[in-house]
């Protein structure tokens, strides 16, 4: 993903390690995506979506469940100013999304997160070219899938993330980085 609000797990932990979990939850009442891969340092902003079977540049994340690493991205699921669809948090490859994933296997508007009146958060694939996997299962296009914290999500065939609550993000970072020096 590529956005000014994204940071690595190490950078995020450096900012929050002096907060207790309750203070962190009150300051960040939203959900997050925690990256399960390290994005390549090449510019991939194009307008054509590649088909999953022609990519060949990376092994798809499908066997076993990848884990976050210190360089994993931490992406707050928040509405960005000026992005359309006011009641949804959009995910896609282009800069006009709330969460931008710069991977050619991700569609321009891949899908969106929404919250029900009862507070349940869900994800809807918007008919993306290469689909979305939620908890290891392919999400049917245009069908709202309820999410729970610590659910694995893959956008396209290789952009893997862990959908987490603020509380779970804190616990994961604490367990993973408690001995990491703050930079």
Query: Which residue did the predictor score with more confidence, 55 or 34?
Result: 34
Residues 99, 91 contacting (CB under 8 angstroms): yes
pLDDT tens track for 85-137: 888 999 999 999 999 998 899 999 999 999 988 889 999 999 999 999 999 99
Q: What is the pLDDT of residue 28?
A: 86
| H or E stretch covering 165 | none
Q: How far is CA 58 from CA 22, 102, 137, 163, 172, in A?
A: 39, 14, 20, 22, 26
Residue appearing with tokens 């893959």: 154
pLDDT score for 5:
67
Lowest model confidence (mean pLDDT) among 9-13, 150-154, 161-165: 9-13
pLDDT at 37: 58
Domains of the chain: 7-45+66-177 (2.60.200.20)
pLDDT of residue 13: 86
Partners of residue 153 on adjacent β-strands: 134, 161
pLDDT at 179: 61
pLDDT digits (tens, 9 = 90+) for 8-25: 888 888 888 889 999 999
Mean pLDDT (whole number) for 141-149 = 97
**Residue 165 scores a pLDDT above 80:** yes
At 168, give phi and psi (nearest 5°): -70, -35
Q: Between the CA of residue 114 and those of 18, 105, 118, 128, what are the distances in Å?
A: 31, 23, 11, 17
pLDDT tens-digit profile of 36-87? Answer: 854 444 334 444 444 454 333 333 333 456 778 888 889 899 888 888 888 8
Phi first, then psi: give them for residue 156, nearest 5 degrees. Answer: 75, -140
């Amino acid at each position: 993903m590529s956005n000014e609000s994204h940071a690595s797990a190490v950078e995020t932990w450096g900012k929050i390690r002096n907060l207790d979990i309750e203070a962190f939850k009150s300051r960040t009442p939203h959900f997050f995506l925690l990256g399960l891969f390290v994005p390549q340092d090449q510019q991939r902003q194009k307008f054509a979506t590649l088909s999953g079977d022609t990519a060949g540049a990376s092994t798809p994340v499908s066997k076993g469940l990848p884990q976050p690493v210190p360089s994993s991205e931490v992406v707050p699921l928040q509405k960005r100013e000026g992005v359309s669809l006011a009641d949804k948090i959009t995910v896609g490859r282009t800069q006009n999304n709330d969460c931008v994933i710069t991977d050619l296997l991700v569609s321009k508007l891949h899908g969106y997160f929404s919250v029900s009146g009862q507070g349940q958060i869900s994800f809807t694939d918007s008919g993306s070219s290469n689909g979305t996997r939620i908890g290891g299962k392919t999400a049917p296009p245009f069908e709202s899938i309820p999410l729970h914290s610590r659910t694995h999500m893959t956008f396209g065939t290789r952009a893997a993330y862990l959908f987490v609550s603020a509380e779970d993000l804190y616990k994961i970072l604490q367990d993973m980085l408690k001995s990491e020096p703050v930079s």
